Amino acid sequence: MQITRDDLRNIAIIAHVDHGKTTLVDSMLKQSGIFRKNQVVEDRVMDSNEIERERGITILSKNTAIYYKDIKINIVDTPGHADFGGEVERVLKMVNGVVLLVDAFEGPMPQTKFVLKKAFELDLPAVVCINKIDRPEARPEEVIDEVLDLFIELGAGEEYLDSPFIFTSAKEGIATIDLEEKKDNMEDLFETIINYIPEPKGDIDGPLQVLISTIDYNDYVGRIGIGKIERGKVKTNQEALIVNLERKDEIKKVKITNIYEFEGLNRVEVEESTVGSIIAVTGVEGIHIGDTICHVENPEPLPFVKISEPTIAITFSVNNSPFAGKEGKYVTSRQIRNRLFKELQTDVSLRVEETDSTDAFKVSGRGELHLSVLIENMRREGYEFQVSKPEVLYKYEDGKRLEPMEIVTIDVMEAYIGAVIEKLGMRKGELISMTEANGGYARLVFSIPARGLIGYRGEFMTDTKGNGILNSVFDSYGPYKGDIPTRKEGSLISFETGEATAYGLYSAQDRGILFITPGTKVYEGMVIGSNPKGMDIEINVCKKKHQSNIRASGSDEALRLSPPRQMSLEEALEFIEEDELIEITPTNFRIRKKILDTNKRYKSKK
C-alpha cells in the first residue's frame, strides 16, 4: 500500500563554506522548542568535533530533527568545503528536498554551484534562503537574480525558476518572505519548508529497503548505519540482509539490534520505524556506505551515487628521526596501519594503499584540507608518524597523461589583481572570466592544475595583504600542462644534534627566516628555517659563546632575535619539497630532510 507521510519532511541544508548553514540549524533548533528555557546552548551546536569548532567549518554531515506544528522535520547539515564534497553527494540520497543558503553579500560561489548541481541531478526541489540580510553591505535583490542565473546556467527545469525565496538572518533567528516586513522569528521558513518540500512517499507493506548513506562508529556497539527507509518497515531484532548493487554476490545476514530516530541532537530508541523515516541502526557489523538493508526474502539493492575520486596523495610512514618514540603513544607501523584503515569505515572519499615498504602507506584524498584534518585528528589521538609532500594523482588514457584540474574563484581588491594573475599564470592557470564586484573588489575565475595550487595559498595571502578570498573546486581531468616552477626558497638545515642557543640562532638569522626559538631541541638534518636565495645551507645553531677574560658569557641576553615564523600544518605541507618530510607528534611537528646525514645527502645530490 502506497502511503504519504504528512507528518514528516526530510531536508538537507546546502551552501558554500561560511554562508551560515550551521548557524541556521542552530536557530531552527532553538525556535522549535528542542532545548529547555534555561538550557545553556553553545553556538554552532552541530559542529561537535574539536577541529570543526576551532576552524569554524563543518567536516562531517550531521543529522538532527525538529517539530513544527506536529510535523517532524529531519535536517541534515552538510559541509561546505570542496574537500568534503563526498559527504554532500551521498547525504542528498536521504532527503526529499534542499534548503539552498546563499550569502546576501557574496552571492552564489563555486561550492554553491557544485552542491546545487548534485541536487538537480537527483531532482530535489529547492527552497532558497538569502542569508545574512543584516550585513551592512547586503544586496539581497541582486543576489536573487544571480541565483536565478545560476539555475539557468545549470539547465534547471522551469519548476526550479519558481522556487520560493526567503530572506533570513540565521544569527538573529529571523526569516521573512517579504523584505519590507519585519519579523522576529523563523515561522516563514518553517511554513515554506512544509508547504514546498514534498512529503516522503512509499510502499509501507513492501519488503524492507534501507539505503545506508552515512556510517558512524562506536566502540560499544560497533558500526552504526544511518539512512532512509525507502520501502516497508523495520523492527528491532528483525533479521535482514546487507546487499550492494556493485557487489551482488556478497550477501551478509544480520540481526538489527537497535533502531534510533533523531530528535533534536539526540538519538531516541524506537521499537519500529516506517517508510520515509531517517534512522540509525546497530547490529549491522560489516556494513558500508552505499549498502542496502533488505528483507530476508527479497534482497533488492538500491543504486547509490558514485563518489568522486581522490585527487591528491600523501605518504604516511613510521617516524625514524633521532627523536622517534619520545612524544607519541602509538608509533609502530601496525598501529598507524590500523588507524588509517579504521578511518576508511567512515570516510568514503579516502583511499589507503600498502606500499613496497611495510613502514609506509599511501593515503589519497580530495585535497590538502581533507588530508590535513586526518593528520590533525591522528596527532591529537597520540599518534606519531611522518608525512611526505602532497602529490597529485595522474590518470593515463590512450598513452596520454591527464591531471586533475580545478576551477578557482578569487575575490580580491582591484589593486592586487596584477599580482594574482601573474602568479597563477606562472602556475599554468588560465583566466576564464573577470567581473567587477562591489566595493572595489573584483572576482577572477581561473582553470588551473591541482598541483599548481599546492603551496600557493600562503603566497596568495601575502600578495593580497590578507584581504583576498580563494575558493577551489575540482573540475575534471585534463591534459598535462607541463612543468610548474616549485618554491623559490631554500632550507636552513641544522648541522648537529643538541639544543638551539640564542648565540647560534643570532648568526643564523642573517641567512633567512627562522622557524625555531632558543632552547628548541634540534637534530642533524632538521630544517630550522628558510633561505630566500633558494639554496640549502647547513648551520650550527647549537654553538655557545666561549668565556674569555674580556667578556662574560651572560652578555648573550642582549642578542636581538627576530620572531620565528610559526607555520600551520597546511602551510608546512605546502612548504616542504620532494626531499623533505614533516615529523608529526602529539606535541610538535618538525620539518626534516629525508636523508639526515649531511655527507650522504651531499653524495645523493651528486
Beta partners for 75? 11, 64
326: annotated binding-site residue? Answer: no
Backbone angles phi, psi at 488, to 5 degrees: -85, -20
Closest CA to 598 of 500, 533, 527, 518: 527
- State how far the Cα of 26 lies from the Cα of 64, in Å rounded to an integer: 10
355: annotated binding-site residue? Answer: no
The amino acid sitting at 29 is L
DSSP H helices in 329-435: 333-343, 368-380, 417-426
- State how far the Cα of 198 lies from the Cα of 210, in Å rounded to an integer: 19
For helices 417-426 and 456-463, angle between their N-to-C axes, nearest 10 degrees: 160
- State how far the Cα of 265 lies from the Cα of 62, in Å rounded to an integer: 9
- State how far the Cα of 606 lies from the Cα of 597, in Å rounded to an integer: 15
Backbone angles phi, psi at 230, to 5 degrees: -85, -25
- State how far the Cα of 115 lies from the Cα of 117, in Å rounded to an integer: 5
The amino acid sitting at 538 is E
What does the longest C-alpha to C-alpha distance in the chain come to? 101
288: annotated binding-site residue? Answer: no
132: annotated binding-site residue? Answer: yes
- Are residues 87 and 63 in contact, defined by beta-carbon separation less than 8 angstroms? no
The amino acid sitting at 279 is I
23: annotated binding-site residue? Answer: yes
Q: Within 13 Å, how many C-alpha atoms sit on residue 422's CB side?
A: 7
- Are residues 272 and 72 in contact, defined by beta-carbon separation less than 8 angstroms? no
Closest CA to 78 of 94, 59, 93, 96: 59
Q: E strand or H helix at 215, and its extent?
A: strand 209-218
DSSP H helices in 103-247: 110-121, 140-153, 158-161, 187-196
Listed in sequence order, the residues at least 6 apart from 287 whose beta carbon sits closer than 8 Å to its beta carbon are: 212, 215, 223, 225, 242, 254, 293
What stretches of 388-489 adopt beta strand conformation (E)?
A: 391-392, 395-397, 400-413, 430-436, 441-449, 469-479
Exposed, middle or buried by CB within 10 Å (0-12, 13-18, 19+), for 50? exposed
20: annotated binding-site residue? Answer: yes
Q: Is 219 left (phi over 0), alpha (psi -120 to 50) or beta?
A: alpha
The vertex-288 CA angle with 22 and 57, nearest 5°, equals 20
- State how far the Cα of 539 lies from the Cα of 318, in Å rounded to an integer: 27
Q: E strand or H helix at 51, and its extent?
A: helix 50-55
Q: E strand or H helix at 237, and its extent?
A: none
- State how far the Cα of 463 lies from the Cα of 473, in Å rounded to an integer: 22
Query: Other CB atoms closer than 10 Å to residue 204's CB: what's the count?
Result: 15
70: annotated binding-site residue? Answer: no
593: annotated binding-site residue? Answer: no
Beta partners for 224? 216
- For the annotated binding site, the residues are 18-23, 131-134
- For the annotated binding site for GTP, the residues are 18-23, 131-134
